[in-house]
Structure 1
Amino acid sequence: MTVWDRPEPPARPVPLDRERIVAAAIALADEGGLEAVSLRKVAARLNAGPMRLYGYISAKQELFDLMTDEVYAEILPEERPCEWREALRVLAHRTRRAALRHEWLADLLGGRPSLGPNGLAVTEAKLAALHGLADIDTVLRAVETVSSYATGAIRREIASRRAERATGLSERDWQRASGAHVTRMLATGRFPALASAVHDGADVDAETTFATGLEWVLDAVAARLTRPPA
């Protein structure tokens, strides 16, 4: 039985329910990451005994599942675009923005599918965007491909933000600090392709990088959808 199927215990003098528990856990995670979340800390924030939480949640992984599903509600747009490409684009960008608000989400993306109502609704929206445009296996692979790109790009961006906080150096500051070493290495001539990228490549922000890569992935999906059957 999943956490969503299990009924909550009766109310007691100190009000407690899964909604309050999940809200407290998300607040802790937003402040200090997933490592800051434990049933004991959540209970303390709610002024409740830790053992009371086990009536609602049997393990920390269930708590993470509930937290993830709560944030998935932020990903679903109020109005869903009719055109498949725009629908997948909107979901990808909303996933990125949700992860930037809740960085811990990046650590939970890409694992087992979310079985909560909001997670299932996001999956339904992705599949529905391509429904009828190709056979189901092609649709599944297309959705997986777009989701994998978004997850990887989001994790990379979050990792960069965390590194910036850990070192106290912005991306630009880090580049300046490592500039002399990179210059010496490129001068050896062993990395001509990298040298070209460093000297001639455009410097774009994270949002532009994400958007550009997403469009290329959607182009690939479009090509597959329009390919005649073998």
Structure 2
Amino acid sequence: MTVWDRPEPPARPAPLDRERIVATAIALADEGGLEAVSLRKVAARLDAGPMRLYGYISTKEELFDLMVDEVHGEILPEEPPGDWREALRVRAHRTRQAALRHEWLADLLGGRPALGPNALAVGEATLAALDGLADLGTVLRAVETVSAYVIGAIRREITELRAERATGLSEREWQRAHGPHLRRMLATGRYPALAKAVYDGPDSDAETSFATGLDWVLDAVAVRLAPPRA
């Protein structure tokens, strides 16, 4: 039985429910990452005994499931997108925005399917936008392909943000600090393709890179979804 199938305990004198527990856990994770979350720490923040929480949530994994589903409520679009491409684009950008607000989300994306009501609503809205465009197998592969890009891009961006905080160096500062070594290596002539990318490649911010890569993936998906020529 999942946590969503299991009823909450009857009300007790001190108010407590899953909604408050999950909100508190998310606040802790936003402050210190997933390592800052435990049933004991959540109980302490709520000024409740740890054993009380076990009536609502059995394991930390269940708590993580509830946290992920709560954030999926932020990903779900307010209005149905106009077409399949817009549906996938909106979902991708809203997922990225949610992950930037809750960096710990990047650590929990891409595992087993999320089965909470908000996550199911996001999945339903996505598949409904592609319904009838191609056979079901092609539609599912299309969604999986876009999701793989989105998760990978988000994890890379979050990793870079964490590295920046850990080192105290911005990307520009890190590049300046490591520039002399890189220039010496490129001057050997052994890495001509890399040298061209470093010296001639265009600059772009994270949001632009994400949007550009997403459009390329959607272009490829569009080819697969196009009806066969007569």
Normalised TM-score (structure 1): 0.98
- Alignment-mate amino acid for residue 136 of structure 2: I
Percentage of identical aligned residues? 82
Matched, 1:211 2:220: no
Alpha-carbon shift at residue 227 of structure 1 (Å): 5.3
- Alignment-mate amino acid for residue 75 of structure 1: I
Alpha-carbon shift at residue 82 of structure 1 (Å): 2.2
**Other-structure match for 1:52:** 52
What do residues 58-86 of structure 1 show as CA deviations (whole Å, max 9, x unaligned)?
00000000000000000011101121101
Relative to structure 1, the CA distance from residue 196 to residue 228 in structure 2 (aligned partners, 3 Å threshold; closer, same or farther) is same
Matched, 1:24 2:21: no
User: Using the alignment, how far apart are the partners of 2:18 and 2:27 within structure 1?
Assistant: 14
Equivalent pair of 2:134/2:227 in contact (CA under 8 Å): no
User: Using the alignment, how far apart are the partners of 1:191 and 1:58 within structure 2?
Assistant: 54
Matched, 1:184 2:184: yes
Alignment map for 1:145-224 (pairs within 5 Å): 145-224=145-224
- Alignment-mate amino acid for residue 68 of structure 1: V
User: Using the alignment, how far apart are the partners of 2:127 and 2:148 within structure 1?
Assistant: 15
Matched, 1:94 2:94: yes
- The number of equivalent residue pairs is 230
Structure 1 stretches (4+) deviating beyond 3 angstroms?
A: none
Matched, 1:139 2:139: yes
**Other-structure match for 1:225:** 225
- Alignment-mate amino acid for residue 156 of structure 2: R
What do residues 111-167 of structure 1 show as CA deviations (whole Å, max 9, x unaligned)?
111100001111111211211000000000000000000000000000000000000
User: Using the alignment, how far apart are the partners of 1:7 and 1:173 within structure 2?
Assistant: 52
* Cα-Cα RMSD: 1.1
- Alignment-mate amino acid for residue 209 of structure 2: T
Give unmatched runs, 5+ long, in structure 2.
none
What do residues 78-123 of structure 1 show as CA deviations (whole Å, max 9, x unaligned)?
1011211011101100000000000000000001111000011111
